[in-house]
Amino acid sequence: MMTTSRPADGPSAADPPAASPLLEFKALTVDYRGPDRKPHRAVDNVSFSIGRGETVGLVGESGSGKTTIGATAVGLAPAAGGVIRFDGEDITRTSTARRRQLSARLQIIFQDPYSSLDPLRTVGRTLMEPLLLHRGNSRGEAGTGVSAMLRRVGLDPSAASRYPAAFSGGQRQRIAIARALMVSPELVICDEAVSALDLSVQAQVLNLLLGLQEEYRISYLFISHDLSVVRHMSDRIVVLYRGQTMEIGDSESVHDHPSHPYTQALLSASPIPSPRAQARQRERLKLALRPARPAATTAFCRFASRCPFATEICEQQAPALVPGPTGADVACHHVAEAVARATV
């Protein structure tokens, strides 16, 4: 079996700077049964935490496990190993009753605005549900709360009597945000919440999220495949590849001075909206990735098969997540080389 990497001792970039974290993942492992019935490790020993009022960005491509981590935190996917703690309490395998109580403090916004609202219920009824459940409000009181929240997210209160089919994607996401915020949670997981939206709408929704965070002092776990959006929204970033943590650190370090070869590749692959800058970046990308070989999952570092720096040790031993030269934690046997190459 694989040896698991241990997080470094002492203060690490995986933890928030201040005191006790609000949401904590320790050595989380999640397995998944594919359609071909073969078991597959979606999340492999991932550890990080989120502090109060902080935004942690979780970035990776498809198959990185980022969505699974979010799902596990709210009880939608079972954890095979490790611990998830919310405000100190172990919530890895809680009862439905406890989940109910938790949902007043821990919420989630999904990616697909067309599937996340019940088409057979009015917007008002959908938004009222959390109030009726948690606050024990009467219908009348709840109605007032709903109108206020609709206004807060930039929609007219008359939206409450309509059905989701009447709204555009951006508007539905606002409704989804309203639903998540109805009972003022402490932490909201944004699972690719803006990925399906047009650029101008995306900007509006991101601004809304930032505004709400300031107003209600909410923490976010911001999951996305888009590195620049994640950088814009997050205080710290966790980079994942095929279920493993590659790099964790504060946004500036990870985005502007990536230490891990994968982060560098990810950055180089994200096209820059500027032709000359992009042409230069294309050259860097050529050095950042080897052509993909069909999934060499036997390698201990999952990125080894595409990494330009990979050597034998990468296939035999999982690299530990340790502090790197920029202050971010990196899991790589060849950090120094990668960092040196990047500063060209």
Partner 1 sequence: MTVPLAAAGKPHARPRLSPLAIVAMVVLAVLILAAIFAPLIAPYNPIAENLSAAYQGPSAHHLLGTDEFGRDLLSRIIYGGRVSLLGVAEATGLFVLIGLPLGLLAGYFGGVLESAISLIAEVSFALPQIIVVLAVLALVPDSTASAMIVLGVLGAPALAVFISGAVKSVRAELYISAARVTGLRPGRIIVRHVVPAIVSPLIVQVSLFAGVALLFQTGLDFLGLGTQPPQPSWGSMVADGATYLGRDLWMVLPPGLVIILAVMSFGLIGDALQDARADRRRTTTAGARRRAPAIRPLSSARDQLTVPADAALTVRGLSAETTGASPAAIVEDVSFSVRAGGCLGIVGESGCGKTMTVMAMMGLLPEGVRTTAGQILFQGQDLRTCTPRQYSQVRGSGIAMISQEPVANLDPSFTVGHQITEVVRHHGGLSRRQARARMIELLEQVQLPDPGATARRYPHQLSGGMAQRALIAIALAANPAVLIADEPTTALDVTVQAEILDLLRRLREQTGLAVILVSHDWGVIADACDAAIVMYAGEVVEEAGIDDVFDQPRHPYSYELMAANPRYANQPRTPLPSIKGTVPAVGEWPDGCRFAERCRFAAAECRAAEISLDPVADGHWSRCLRNTEVPQLKLENA
Q: Which of residues 253-282 bind partner 1 (CB under 8 A)?
A: 256, 265-266, 268-278, 280, 282
Residue ranges in 51-90 that form contacts with partner 1 under rule CB under 8 A:
55, 61-62, 71, 74-76
Instruction: Between 128 and 321, name the residue whose CB sits nearer to partner 1.
Output: 128
Q: What six digits make up the tokens of 143?
A: 């109605």
CB contact at 8 A, 306 and 292: yes
Structure tokens at 307: 């990494």
Question: Considering the rule CB under 8 A, would residue 289 count as an interface residue with partner 1?
Answer: yes
From candidates 202, 259, 263, 264, binder to partner 1 by CB under 8 A: 202
Residue 200 near partner 1 by CB under 8 A: yes
- Whole-angstrom Cα distance, residue 123 to residue 104? 19
| 166 binding partner 1? (CB under 8 A) | yes
Site for partner 1, residues 290 to 319, rule: CB under 8 A: 294
The reply on whether position 117 binds partner 1 by CB under 8 A is yes
Half-sphere exposure of 327 (CA within 13 A, CB side): 13
Cβ 291 vs Cβ 222: under 8 Å: no
Q: Which CB atom, from 26 or from 236, has the smaller least distance to partner 1? A: 236
251 binds partner 1 (CB under 8 A): yes
Using an 8 Å Cβ cutoff, are 84 and 73 in contact?
A: yes
Q: Which of 49, 68, 92, 116 binds partner 1 (CB under 8 A)?
A: 116
- For partner 1, the binding residue among 137, 228, 316, 317 (CB under 8 A) is 228
- Report d(CA 29, CA 5) in Å as an integer: 12
Residues 6+ apart with CB under 8 A from 62: 225
Nearer to partner 1, 200 or 343 (CB): 200
Nearer to partner 1, 3 or 271 (CB): 271
Q: Pick the stretch among 40-48, 115-123, 141-149, 326-334 that binds partner 1 (CB under 8 A).
A: 115-123
Q: Is 207 in the site for partner 1 (CB under 8 A)?
A: yes
What's the angle, vertex CA 251, arms to CA 250 and CA 255, rounded to 5?
125
Q: Which of 52, 80, 145, 163 binds partner 1 (CB under 8 A)?
A: 163
Single out the residue of 210, 287, 320, 322 in contact with partner 1 (rule: CB under 8 A).
210
In sequence order, what DSSP letters do the residues of 150-170 get, joined into one string?
HHHTT--GGGGGS-GGGS-HH
- In Å, how far from its chain's centre is CA 8? 22
Stretch that binds partner 1, among 84-92, 144-152, 223-231, 316-324 (CB under 8 A): 223-231
Contact with partner 1 (CB under 8 A): which of 80, 203, 287, 320?
A: 203
Interface characters, 95-114, with partner 1 (x: CB under 8 A): -xxxxxxxx---xx-x-x-x
Site for partner 1 in 123-152 (CB under 8 A): 126, 129-130, 133
**What one-character-per-residue DSSP string does 83-123 give?**
EEEETTEE-TT--HHHHHHHTTTEEEE-S-TTTSS-TTS-H
Window 14 to 53, contacts with partner 1 (CB under 8 A) = none
Structure tokens at 10: 């002492």
Backbone phi, psi, residue 41, to 5°: -85, 105
Q: How far is the CB of 254 from partner 1 (least distance, A)?
A: 12
Residue closer to partner 1, measured from CB, 108 or 181? 108
Our CB check for partner 1 shows the closer of 202 and 326 to be 202
CA distance 265 to 103: 37
Q: Which helix (H) or strand (E) holds 239?
A: strand 236-241
Shortest reach from residue 83's CB to partner 1, in Å: 20
Distance between CA atoms of 201 and 213, rounded to whole angstroms?
A: 18
Radius of gyration of the chain (CA): 21
Q: Would you say 122 and 161 are in contact if contact means Cβ atoms under 8 Å apart?
A: yes
Binding residues for partner 1, rule CB under 8 A, total 87
